[in-house]
Amino acid sequence: MTNKKKVFISSCDEFLLNQFQNFFTNSVYHISGTSLSGMDAIGKIPLYETDVIIMDLSSGGESNTLEIIEKIKEQNNVPFVFITDDDVIDAFIEVRKIQPAGYLVKPFKKSEIIDILNRIIQKSDHQKYLASLNVDKYGQLIIDECGEEVHAFIRKNIDLGSKTTCVISTTSRFNVKILESGYYKSLVNLQLINSIKHLNKFFQVVNNILLPGGIFLLVAETKETRKKKILKKFPPVLNYIYYTFDFILKRLFPKLSFTKKIYFFLTRGKNRVLSRTEILGRLYSCGFSIISETFISPYSYYIVKKVKGPAFDENPSYGPLFRMKRVGKGGKMIRVYKLRTMHPYSEYLQDYILETHGYSEIGKLSDDFRLTTWGKFLRRYWLDELPQLINVLKGEMKLVGVRPLSQRVFNDYPEDIKKMRLKYKPGCFPPYVALLMQNMEKSIEAEKIYLLEKEKHPYTTDIKYFCKAVYNILTNKIRSS
């Protein structure tokens, strides 16, 4: 008796129950329990050891059959064999989503029921085996590829045993695209994203195959880590020479339109240099938000969550001269020109930094890691603002006026100031420079003072503020950042 497979039967047909009792004599199957209906089965099945459930769909007349079966499945995840009469065979259509399952139409022979029970239990056992193997297989693959520390980190954050978790190691979006769209809760890619040629398109495909709120775990070598590796690898002097050429080829060439083709011809887009800011910015632009990041030598690991669809920005700011979306006169969005002082894709991180760090004492975003080394120099001497003269020539800005704001920052302004500032074009020299009122609250107050003066004296106000602003900059009384 101990080696027999235990069968639970749900049917109000006494003839059928007796038939099964006869069929199972001298077989590997044994009836462990019975119920007269599906509702009755919900209460009884947990009381019995069960390897397979036979459910008679032609009896009971229950209208919520599928709901009952799903409740039973939650209690005891075993395979089903569904039975019905030939005149109500449509009953199979309702329950076909239940897997694994077998189907029989009355009348049937002993050989048919024994055969289908053998096959369905074998299929169920095989699926359970694969599920258990999946955890071990992923675990060993991750350890072989990345080491035990990485495996422990991934296992802590990702359910490797889930059917909706996929672990891959690829630089080709094709290998992601063939996965089922909108199915996976978690995707782990063990391959460095530095070697993915069309990185944003890769992230967009990942976004597509993940469910809303789905988790994506990726690995990258950051610019900072790469610099340390190069300087440590080569002897003094030679290491900085090598690093300079590496910087020119892999950081400068991709950003200039006339050298970009040379870069891709020489590198094929492999082993590209990515700053932490650019990695996060690309992810945010593709619909992800950061959950956590950690460094496990020699690479950085990022866990992000799908929060929306990709932006599909065909012309993201990447070169030394870029344009920022800003609120212009009348609320019209304009593109303000500036020299790049931040890493590429920084504009997508503004909300993230504002939420995590807030504003600094001078009204700028606090602890803004998006700034580059040369960017700090350009900002210190206001050189990054020079291209705004293009906006002046285009008639979108003036020399003196309210600071051109992003929509996000504009929304934080008081309503009365918003209404007043929308009457005028933004300016290259904002009021806080002339009035030496630089933090966020004082900057808003400076704009209010300027706008009230501007309404009374439209022309002389700008001349006065221009002279004060230039004097404060030349005498180093105010700094840009």
Cis peptide, bond prior to residue 107, ω within 30 of zero: yes
Q: Confidence class of residue 335 from pLDDT cuts 50, 70 and 90?
A: very high
Half-sphere exposure of 219 (CA within 13 A, CB side): 22
- The distance in angstroms from the start CA to the end CA of the chain is 82
How much is the mean pLDDT over the chain? 86
Q: Give the pLDDT score at 422.
A: 94
Whether pLDDT at 61 is above 70: no
Where is average pLDDT lowest: 90-99, 248-257, 336-345, 426-435?
Answer: 90-99
Distance between CA atoms of residues 320 and 255, nearest Å:
7
Maximum alpha-carbon separation in the chain: 108
Q: pLDDT band for position 363 (50/70/90)?
A: low
Task: Report the amino acid identity of residue 314.
Answer: E
pLDDT of residue 344: 79
- Dihedral of the CA atoms 257, 259, 263, 268 (nearest 10)? 50
Q: Which domains, from first to last, does the chain contain?
A: 5-128 (3.40.50.2300), 133-306 (3.40.50), 321-474 (no CATH)
Pairing of strands 52-56, 80-84: parallel
- Which pLDDT value is given to residue 167? 92
Q: Residue 272: CB partners within 8 Å, gap ≥ 6?
A: 194, 195, 199, 250, 254
pLDDT in tens, 97-132: 787 888 888 888 999 999 999 988 888 876 666 555
**What is this structure's pTM?**
0.58
pLDDT at 134: 55
Report pLDDT for 427. 93
What average pLDDT does the segment 54-73 reach? 79
Convert the pLDDT of each residue in 374-398 to its tens digit. 777 787 777 888 899 999 999 999 9
pLDDT at 359: 60
Q: Is the pLDDT of residue 3 over 80?
A: no
Region of poorest pLDDT, from 253-262, 390-399, 460-469: 253-262
If you average pLDDT over residues 171-187, what whole number do you get?
Answer: 90
* Poorest-pLDDT segment among 146-150, 161-165, 375-379, 409-413: 375-379
As a whole-number percent, the residues of the chain with pLDDT over 90 amount to 42
Rounded CA separation 444/418 (Å): 10
pLDDT digits (tens, 9 = 90+) for 280-308: 999 999 999 999 999 999 999 999 999 99
Q: Which of 124, 105, 114, 309 is nearest to 204 (CA)?
A: 309
Q: What is the pLDDT of residue 362?
A: 53
If one compares 170 and 254, the residue with the highest pLDDT of the two is 170
Per-residue model confidence (pLDDT) at position 451: 93
